[in-house]
Each structure stands twice: as C-alpha cells, then as structure tokens.
Copies of this chain bind each other. A is one copy, B any other.
Amino acid sequence: MESLIRTATEADLKAVRDLVLELAIFEREPEAVTATEQDYHNAYANNEIFIKVAEANGEIIGMVLYYLTFSTWKGKMMYLEDFYVKKAYRKLGVGAQLFNAFLKDSKDRGCVLTKWQVLDWNTSAIEFYKARGAEIEKQWWNGKLFLNDYG
C-alpha cells in the first residue's frame, strides 16, 4: 500500500482529533474526550504539540502526537501522547513508519529519551514496542486530579 508520512498541517487537526476519538473507543473510554477542536488548534499554534500523519488515498489513516517535556533524571524528553492507525490499515507497516518518524523528529529536536504509556492488556502494542528495543515498566501507577473543583 502506498502511504505518505508527513507533518500535520492545521487543516489536519479535525481528522487527528477524530482518530483520538477512535483510539479512546478502542481503549474502552468512549466518553473520555472532552478536549475541543479549538484546544487542538491552540496547542498546535503554540508548538505545544507535534503531529505526524499517515495519508493514503487522500485520507488520514494514522497519526502520532507528541510533545517536549523535561526528565529531571535524563534531561530533554519527548512524550508520545497518542499513536493510532485505523483498523483497516494495520499490519501494513504504517505504524512502524509513524513511530520511526516520531523517533527521528525527537532526536532531531535534541531529546535523549522518549516515553509513553500502553494499556496492560494491549499485547500487540506491547510486542510492537519491545521489538523496537523499548523498555516496558510496570511498577508505576498514574495519579490524576481534575482542577475544576479546586480552589
């Protein structure tokens, strides 16, 4: 299959958010996405997020979305927030191309480390990452607090 990996433009942000919605359904939290398209536009305009998309037949069929953070242990770090390929286009190498584009851009931007999260039951994703030499750590739990009720 011919697919093109490229940096997302502002015009792609709606399609990117649609893929995030699909991913949330896959992750069994269909109601979880409350971030608006405007939130995406603001973050994109401020360089707070970077996105590569995969395009085939004029359609966005996959994406990686990531941002710069700082590891107090290692220094400049890139965090992979979302990574998704539409179901009909899996097992064709699109995910590998997107993930490589993410790694290359992270290195080009001076990062020493990349990090992300994966659900413990998502064995095919875990295998994908392990095949690329990633470490999978199981001893950390996530804390989460919403601010609308605070203060």
Contact = CB atoms under 8 A, between A and B. Distances in A.
Interface residues of A, number: 66
Nearest to A43: B70
Nearest to A114: B145
A14 B39 CA distance: 36
Interface string A46-69: 001100000000000000010111
B143 A39 contact: no
A39 B81 contact: no
A151 B104 contact: yes
A144 B151 CA distance: 35
A112 B69 contact: no
A73 B34 contact: yes
A124 interface: no
Contacts of A113: 144-147
A5 interface: no
A104 B150 CA distance: 8
11 contacts: A39-B75, A106-B147, A107-B151, A113-B144, A114-B146, A115-B144, A119-B139, A120-B140, A120-B141, A135-B145, A136-B144
Give me the 5 closest cross-chain CB pairs, A-B, nearest first: A35-B75, A39-B75, A137-B142, A117-B140, A134-B145
